[in-house]
């Protein structure tokens, strides 16, 4: 009988190494998949937060430039009318969880499609609430008395909920109402 002195691997050793490499590779692939899935979820969540903040910021910025309180006329919980110092009108509306902006009064563009609740509050100069009911709109006499507004939104997408609120005192309100001698 001839004794082999070769330094090669046997077939069983090669099969065991391939099997162990496959197990380690499948565990690594599973970990990479979980990491990529978490990354995609967090990126989607960040997009949701950015969209919500941007929509809220746009409404706040336009409200700060409001020309006079009379321009809140016909605003309510679903429609928010604004007019800046250059007499440029803006209308924000909420229809079936979509927050939209109209620059010309006819064509609306989406700011967010994940609004779960919203509230527009209006306060007079003694900070009494003059907010209309959910279906009503502000009358001209109520609009003329507005001194301060509060905007409160809750955005929801899947299991994520994001709430934002702010009091807004339009910069032009500090100068008072325009008089006949102006």
Question: What tens digit of pLDDT does each residue of 57-110 get?
Answer: 999 999 998 888 888 888 888 888 888 888 888 999 888 888 899 987 788 888
Whole-number pLDDT of residue 74 = 87
81 forms beta bridges with: 91
Whole-number pLDDT of residue 38 = 92
Q: What is the pLDDT of residues 123-134, one digit of tens each?
A: 988 888 887 766
d(CA 11, CA 68) in angstroms, rounded, equals 88
Whether 8 is covered by a domain: the verdict is no
> Model pTM?
0.76
CB of 129 closer than 8 Å to CB of 123: yes
Whether 7 is covered by a domain: the verdict is no
CB of 33 closer than 8 Å to CB of 145: no
Number of domains in the chain: 1
Whether 124 is covered by a domain: the verdict is yes
The SS3 call for residue 91 is strand
* For residues 15-39, average pLDDT: 93
Q: Is the pLDDT of residue 2 over 70?
A: no
Residue 141 CA neighbour count, 13 Å, CB half: 0
d(CA 57, CA 64) in angstroms, rounded, equals 10
Domain span at residue 54 reads: 14-175
Whether 3 is covered by a domain: the verdict is no
Whether 92 is covered by a domain: the verdict is yes
Q: Which of 114, 36, 133 is nearest to 76 (CA)?
A: 133
Whether 37 is covered by a domain: the verdict is yes
Whole-number pLDDT of residue 131 = 78
Q: Is the pLDDT of residue 149 over 60?
A: yes
Whether 56 is covered by a domain: the verdict is yes
H/E element holding 115?
A: strand 115-123
pLDDT confidence bin for 53, thresholds 50/70/90: very high
The SS3 call for residue 117 is strand
Q: Please give the sequence-ordered ranges of beta strands (E in DSSP) within 20-114, or none if there are none.
A: 79-83, 89-95, 98-102, 108-112
* For residues 130-156, average pLDDT: 85
Whether 9 is covered by a domain: the verdict is no
């Amino acid at each position: 009988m001839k004794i082999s002195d070769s330094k090669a691997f046997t077939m069983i050793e090669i099969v065991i190494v391939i099997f162990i490499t496959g197990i380690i590779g499948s565990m690594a692939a599973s970990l990479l998949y979980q990491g990529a899935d978490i990354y995609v979820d967090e990126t989607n969540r960040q997009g949701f937060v950015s969209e919500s903040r941007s929509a809220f910021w746009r409404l706040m910025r336009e409200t700060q430039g409001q020309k006079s309180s009379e321009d809140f006329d016909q605003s309510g919980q679903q429609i928010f009318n604004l007019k800046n110092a250059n007499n440029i009108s803006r209308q924000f509306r909420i229809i079936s969880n979509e927050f939209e902006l109209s620059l010309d009064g006819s064509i609306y563009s989406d700011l967010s499609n994940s609004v779960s609740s919203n509230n527009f509050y209006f306060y007079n100069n003694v900070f009494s609430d003059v907010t209309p009911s959910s279906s009503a709109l502000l009358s001209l006499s109520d609009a003329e008395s507005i001194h301060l507004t509060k905007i409160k939104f809750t955005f929801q997408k899947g299991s994520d909920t994001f709430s934002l609120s702010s009091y807004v005192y339009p910069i032009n309100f500090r100068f008072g109402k325009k008089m006949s001698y102006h």
